[in-house]
Amino acid sequence: MTYREFYRDRRVMITGGLGFIGSTLAHQLTALGARVLLVDSLIPEYGGNLFNVHGIEDRVRINIADVRQQSTMNYLVRGQDVIFNLAGQVSHIDSMQDPYTDLEINCRSQLSILEACRRHNPGVKVVFAGTRQVYGRPDSLPVTEQHLVRPTDVNGINKAAGEYYHLVYNNVFGVRACSLRLTNVYGPRQLIKHNRQGFIAWFIRLAIENAEIQIYGDGSQRRDFVYVDDAADAFLRAGADDVCNGQVLNVGGIEPISHRALVELLTSIAGSGRFRLVDWPPEKKAIDIGDFFADSSLIERTLQWRPVTTLRDGLQRTVEYYRRHFQHYVPTTASQIAAL
């Protein structure tokens, strides 16, 4: 049985299921015949969007709930075969301005989910959405899983703690779990209504609007990028295979690219937008990690995963998606704009 066949008739729960990666997983899982439950708080700032499940609404169940609620989690985890745990606060800037909320969502909520599994569904498999942010500023490149965990911001610290909770529950309580440390994921269904959840989505919006993209510094900083369908495939592989239990696995891009070259490629594909180099804002420079790109050889050896979507193809698909559905992702009324 292949990892994709594994999901037929399986009960799968996705926390953060109306968000960017969660909804992409939902589309793939419904196509594979899984019975999908999406759990999302729909907090306006965090990216949950009902339009993200457009076309599969009648093939998924949706529960609007906050993962911090222990009693709710106790109920929802029952009977699930796999949990893809993507609920989280992902803004690095927000975490520095409001560290307690970040702590609640990225630490306490993870314990709520794992405790619910331990007490009410200990046989479930949990795949956690980790982040390359836990590494901090790299000592060497590409970054392997052996690199020290040394975050530069509150979000990175709390995401590292959430990840380690999963490993402890795997190692001590036998709740099968692993963590995928995602690099910069991009693609359709990503939040683009503000710029606090990663720069690439914001750059894409500005290019579509034929606006100016501001690149910090000299534009030479390098990153790797993973198209969302490829990232979802890594989750599917991890959820179906116990060989990765108790492990952390990097999910990186095909090759790194400088910010300037990225924007030049994006504006060329979009046929719109322009850029300008600007000085670093002090609050962002303070938590910047410099060049970063991941070594994904461990997940390739363990789960036979590798990224397959080129940056050019991924950006092309993403630009086309937002041009078709822009009104569902960017506020158009005064009341919507005031709510941001």
Q: What pLDDT was estimated at residue 283?
A: 80
CA atoms lying within 13 Å on the CB side of residue 179: 21
- Beta strands 257-258 and 222-223: pairing type? antiparallel
Q: Which amino acid is at 338?
A: A
Q: What pLDDT was estimated at residue 334?
A: 42
Domain ranges (residues) in the chain: 5-186+225-255+291-308
List CB contacts of 239: < 8 A, sequence separation 6 or more.
6, 7, 12, 82, 84, 125, 127
Q: What pLDDT was estimated at residue 70?
A: 94
Tokens of 249: 């696995």
Tell me the three state secondary structure of residue 66.
Answer: coil
Integer Cα distance of 289 and 25 in angstroms: 29
Could you read off the pLDDT of 218-247 as tens digits, one per residue?
999 999 999 999 999 999 999 999 999 999
Q: What pLDDT was estimated at residue 219?
A: 94
pLDDT tens for the chain, residues 1 to 340: 899 999 999 999 999 999 999 999 999 999 999 999 999 999 877 789 999 999 999 999 999 999 989 999 999 999 999 999 998 776 656 767 788 888 888 888 999 999 999 999 999 999 999 999 999 999 999 999 999 999 988 888 999 999 999 999 999 999 999 999 999 999 999 999 888 767 999 999 999 999 999 999 999 999 999 999 999 999 999 999 999 999 999 999 999 999 999 999 999 999 999 999 999 988 878 778 889 999 999 999 999 999 999 999 999 999 999 999 999 999 875 434 444 3
DSSP per position, 146-187: TS----SSHHHHHHHHHHHHHHHHHHHH--EEEEEEE-EEE-
Which helix H or strand E contains 109, and what residues bound it? helix 109-120
Q: Which residues pair with 212 in a beta bridge?
A: 274
Integer Cα distance of 258 and 275 in angstroms: 14
Identify the CATH assignment for 5-186+225-255+291-308 out of 3.40.50.720, 1.10.10.10, 3.40.640.10, 3.30.420.40. Answer: 3.40.50.720
Peptide bond into 142 cis (omega under 30): yes
Q: What pLDDT was estimated at residue 331?
A: 81
**For residues 86 and 129, is the Cβ–Cβ distance under 8 A?**
yes
Could you read off the pLDDT of 166-199 as tens digits, one per residue?
999 999 999 999 999 999 999 999 999 888 767 9
